[in-house]
Chains A and B, each alone.
Chain A
């Protein structure tokens, strides 16, 4: 596949130079190598890796996923190799490519976030930190930070002191007013916002009267959540100055363009990777074709261009 390298797609996201605005959403692209048969990593805007914790986490029991109308529920529980495993086993592969690597970081307590951020900051090959304050599948930590403006502020401020890497804060949609959390993150020194994480949901098997997930509740992703995500990107774009990475049900180039028009400077592709492993390449092409067709000189001219 010939992919555009045109300058009109280039951007600088919070200090991260990207050749286009298409990133992979954390937890949907592994550590890059899993998609090597379908995606040229050198053609992506950035790779956001699976959430990383201070020590390896085993994850939740089965069942962990279920399909819902135009969506998918998951309660994986952040199974991951831990920060040392990531640095030793996973990062070297990505470092062979010319693509910014953004490390998604999660923890149960503030100290765990700091420990992971410290180790990543001391490592070559990390372009930015995505602070996951919004994982819905943990008993403590994760989303509990991201639904409280004060806790969000404290955590982001602590991480801000710990690293000079760009910080993206990944917001939870499971709040009454997402702009409050966005403001808290921005005030505490976040460089960008990733939004949105999954919506808390559930499904029930009426024959067994059991939840479709062992964890009972899980995070809803896929096209079903796109209208909610778009609305939230639009609200936050009108509230804070820092750039937004828009995500939530992006399946094709047109979906990505909707997010950009709503105010996202870049987009992340998540669940769609499971359905079409090469979809990120198609989305880059779709965005470039639109810019060419609309005679738009730079992707930045399209950001937040919603007519109201």
Chain B
């Protein structure tokens, strides 16, 4: 798939939750080919002394427009959050692999933690189009940081909600909702799709291993080039065929989140 490097302008950039923003831009070349789980690598405000681009998952595709839902986590996203309609962005994309929806899939659980839900919205739409029964579980630190509930309801999804402080929904981790959901589906085990904080992805993978269910995780990492050359965004992936070295450690290789990922089978990742 051809990758594009395009100059575009921000159409809107508004706060949607505490520390979270939703940005729209016109990007027809990316919009036409973007797949669920893919991302763009964005350069903005070169006057600030920031050097590198920042990777953002593609949250939605509407005609020629794409959007990104992002959390302010550092200097770069802080600058981005203050940018306005009309400001320019340089967008590289679409990048990375995508979630795989098997032909035989008829039951899915999609689990997003924090801003991780942003990587899952295109997938949820695709599952809906394929008429695959989909349970969506959304976790957040608190109600003020809860994301995407209205967007999910708009497409007819009633998500289960968990907050760490119990300010809305289940009081606890979203992984607890996963266990409850799985307990109710003993007859048929779903495929789990997830994105969120590292610890949550690790926990989801462990649960899926217990239940012997496939689990696709979208990894997020700091990136340099996002084109597979700088090798700055790797994660530890078990070698095909498994095996251990002389000291008993699993054999692995570092794979690039930008190229072999961002979507990996959770069971392939060696979680530290």
- Chain A interface (Cβ within 8 Å of chain B)? 27-30, 34-35, 37-38, 50, 58-59, 62-67, 69-72, 74, 76, 79, 222-223, 271, 273-278
Contact of A79 among B3, B252, B254 (CB under 8 A): B254
Which B residue sits closest to A71, measured CB to CB?
A: B51
Query: With A72-B224, A274-B225, A275-B43 in contact, is A65–B232 under 8 Å at CB?
Result: yes
Q: Known interface pairs A34-B228, A35-B227, A72-B52. Does A65 touch B222 (Cβ–Cβ under 8 Å)?
A: yes
Instruction: Given A30-B228, A58-B254, verify A70-B51 contact (CB < 8 Å).
Output: yes
Tell me whether B52 and A67 are in contact (CB under 8 A): yes
In contact, B49 and A69 (Cβ under 8 angstroms): yes
Known: A37-B4, A70-B51, A274-B225. 6 other contacts (CB 8 A): A27-B229, A27-B230, A65-B230, A66-B222, A222-B51, A271-B51
Q: How far, in whole Å, are A277 and B253 apart by their CA atoms in the complex?
A: 26
- In this complex, what residue of A is CB-closest to B75? A67
What residues of chain B lie closer than 8 Å to A74, measured between beta carbons?
A: 224, 230, 232
Q: Are A34 and B229 closer than 8 Å at their CB atoms?
A: yes
B91 at the interface (CB under 8 A from A): no
Interface majority SS on B: helix, strand, loop or mixed?
loop
Interface majority SS (helix, strand, loop, mixed), chain A: loop
Complex CA distance for A27 and B231, rounded to whole angstroms: 9
In the assembled complex, the CB of B9 is this many whole angstroms from the nearest CB of chain A, namely 18
Q: Is A67 touching B3 in the complex (CB atoms < 8 A)? A: no
Tell me, in angstroms, the Cα distance from A29 to B227 when the chains sit together.
9
Task: Kindly provide the distance from the CB of B264 to the nearest chain A CB, expressed in whole angstroms.
Answer: 14
Residues in B235-265 with C-beta less than 8 Å from chain A: 235, 252-254
Instruction: Determine whether the beta carbon of A64 is less than 8 Å from that of B52.
Output: no
Give, as a whole number of angstroms, the nearest-CB distance from B57 to chain A: 19
Distance of A212 from chain B, by nearest CB (Å):
9
Whether the Cβ atoms of A277 and B227 lie closer than 8 Å is yes
**A28:B50 contact, CB within 8 angstroms:** no
The 3 A-B residue pairs with the shortest CB-CB distance in the complex, in nearest-first order: A65-B232, A30-B229, A274-B225
